[in-house]
Each structure stands twice: as C-alpha cells, then as structure tokens.
A and B are shown apart, each in its own frame.
Chain A
Amino acid sequence: MPVSLANSGVVYDALKKCGIGLVSALPETWLVHLIRMAEDDPKMILVRLAKEEEGVGISAGAHFAGVKSAMLMQNHGFLASINGIVSFAQLYRIPLLMLISYRGHFGERDSWQTQGGGVTEPLLRALGIPYSFLDDPAKVEKRIAEAQTWAYASLHPAALLLTRELMWEESA
C-alpha cells in the first residue's frame, strides 16, 4: 500500500509534541499507519468510532477533562460530523483539532471520492473553520502546532487537510 509510512510518522510525532493524549479515529486508507501508531502507543488513548460525529462528543469530554485530543477522519467523515461540529464544538466553544484526509482532489482515481473532494474546502469556509494543508513533511510539525495554538486561543475548531502529496507515495 503506497500510503507513506514515513510521513505518517512525521504527523504522529507532531501530534505527540503538541501533547495530544487522545485520538479518535475511523479507519480509511490514508490513515492506516497513523491509527496503528496510536494503537501501539501505550500513552495514547485511541477511540475507534462507529461514526465520526461521535468523535466530537469524545473530544469535548476530553477537553473538559483537561486532555488534548485530535480527530482523525476522512473528509467524508467530516461531512458526517457537521451537526456535532456546529451544535457542540462551535456552540460550546470546544477547541477541536481535526485532521482530515483530503480525498477526492486532483490525482484521485477512486471515482466515489470525487464529490466529497469538491465540497470539502467550501464547507470548511462556510462553517468559518480555518484550515491549512499538510503537504510538506518539513512543515507538518509547525502547521499542526499553529492550528492547535489557534484552536485553544479562539476556543474554536481548526482543521488540517492531509494531502495526497504528503500521504501517498505512488506517482499520479
């Protein structure tokens, strides 16, 4: 599987450096290494979900408990979480850190991903959720740290889009 193990490691290490103690996740191809890393880490609480929206409640609970968390999901999982994001994370000012695999954008061969790829950024903008891209391993740590800093300063969700460039090693 041409999912980048090295770059998944870069992302995971960056999450650890930010003090993330809980990760909620629903598996998708680009996230497999990241989820295994969380699973193999005895200091990480990994919560495997049935549906991504549950992760909003779990992250809110973790925030109340003083534990920093991150949600790992596909952009279709983000679509499935929108009510929770709006009516919990935004309504109650929860600093939600979302790592979203940006499927269905240029280079995507899986036709079923393409519709979701087209609406991901417009929806983030419509919801007023700031986002940046994880596309260069050299900048991953800084971008994750900055997104988390902003999320805590503003008490608002922030998103990082995991791009094909970072996560996929096969040439297009």
Chain B
Amino acid sequence: MMQRLDCLRAIYDQLENCLVVTIMGAVACELQSLGHKPNFFYLQHAMGLGSSTGLGLALCLPQQKVVVFDGDGSILMNLGGYTTLARYRPKNLVHVVFDNESLLSVGGFPTATSTGSDLEGVARASGIARTKTISTIEDFKHAFDDALRANDLTSMVAKVEAVGPKGYVMELALLENRFQFKRYIERLTAEARKHGESKS
C-alpha cells in the first residue's frame, strides 16, 4: 500500500506554481517536512473546511491553480462540501483526499471509509464528474498531472497506509504561515496586474 509521504514527494515539484491548502495533522507535517514554501497554507484546525477554503481561493482567483490536500476524517465532517464544489465546479481546483481510513493523529481510530463508505462514490454522486480512487504511486502521479492539466474540477481519493510522522507540532507558527500565505498571494496578484497592464 502506498504512503502519503511518497505521494507528496512524487508531486512536490509541481506545487511550485499552485496555491496549496492542507488540513491538519500528518498531511501538514509531511508536506512541510519536504520543504515549506510561502504558497502552502496548513489549516491546523477547523476540520472539514480545507475544501471550502480551496473553493473560496479558486473562485476569487480563477487564473490560479489551487490544490487542496484533504483527509477522510476531515471530509467526512463536511460531505455537503462536495455538493458545493460540484455546484460551482471551479476549473482551477484539484482536491486530493488522502484516505487512510482512520483518524490517525488521535490514535488511529477507524473512520467510516474503513467499513465501506466510498468517497469517490460520494464525490461522483454529488456531481463531480472527474473523480477517481488511486492506490499506487504511479497512478497518483499520473492522475495529479492529469488533474493539473485538466482545466476542470477534479476530486481524487488516494488510498494510503495509516502511518504518519512521529509528532505533529510544527515549528512554523500558525499566524506566521497565514500572513506569509496572504502576502504571497498579494505579490502574485500585483504581478499579474502589472503584467496585464503592460500587455494592454
């Protein structure tokens, strides 16, 4: 079975030009362990709202690719969010759910995906056409590349092993991360404006 860290490693270089939102816990720590970038925002609480944050970003910045790294425990708290994603279908949003069938950071308690609840099925039935369950690194890399190029909303479910880092405390302070991320976007939009003006 594949590991989340290997998935992240396989696509890390492609995140350079994306706005990246992760949920709390292992995903945030593992992405940071590969090297923090100012375009990464780690939502360290508010379970369920990672996908909503990505939607807000994607709708307000339609020219910018937005990637959300979600988890089964989080998305199960906001299944209605799938229907909102489907309703607005932002072309620039790639939603990845790392499904380890457990609430790993609190001791590995099994979630409902361990007893058969199928997140790809929920996404599809919510109206998201581009959705897929993935279980190998090769497929993950391919599906992620494809999603970045697709120009359509994609929500993929990556089945991963329930293993994570040793600890969950990150050195980067929450607020430092938040202000850095906002400043990064401010620079990005200012440059885009300048570029737009010079073209016209």
Contacts and interface: CB of A to CB of B under 8 A. Distances in A.
Contacts of A56: 46, 49, 52
A53 B186 CA distance: 26
A59 to B, nearest CB: 6
Contact of B52 (A54, A63, A83, A91): A54
Interface in A18-40: 21-22
Given A49-B84, A50-B83, A64-B181, A57 B49 contact: yes
A62 B60 contact: yes
A53 B49 contact: yes
A46 B192 CA distance: 24
Interface residues of B, number: 35
Contacts of A10: none
A22 B87 contact: no
A54 B49 contact: yes
Contact of B56 (A48, A59, A83): A59
Interface in A58-92: 58-67, 69, 83-84, 87-88, 91-92
Highest count of chain B CB atoms <10 Å: which of A45, A58, A84: A58
Interface residues of A, number: 31
Contact of A87 (B45, B61, B189): B45
B86 to A, nearest CB: 10
A93 interface: yes
Nearest to B41: A64
Nearest to A87: B45
Contacts of B49: 53-54, 56-57, 60, 84, 88
B175 A57 contact: no
Nearest to B184: A64
Contacts of B185: 64-66
A47 interface: yes
A58 B175 contact: no
Interface string B55-69: 111111100000000
A66 B84 contact: no
A65 B84 contact: no
Highest count of chain B CB atoms <10 Å: which of A21, A57, A84: A57
Interface string B169-190: 0000011001001100110010
A21 B60 contact: yes
A66 B190 CA distance: 11
Closest 7 A/B residue pairs (Cβ):
A61-B56, A57-B52, A50-B80, A57-B49, A65-B60, A88-B46, A87-B45
5 contacts: A21-B60, A48-B84, A58-B55, A84-B49, A91-B44
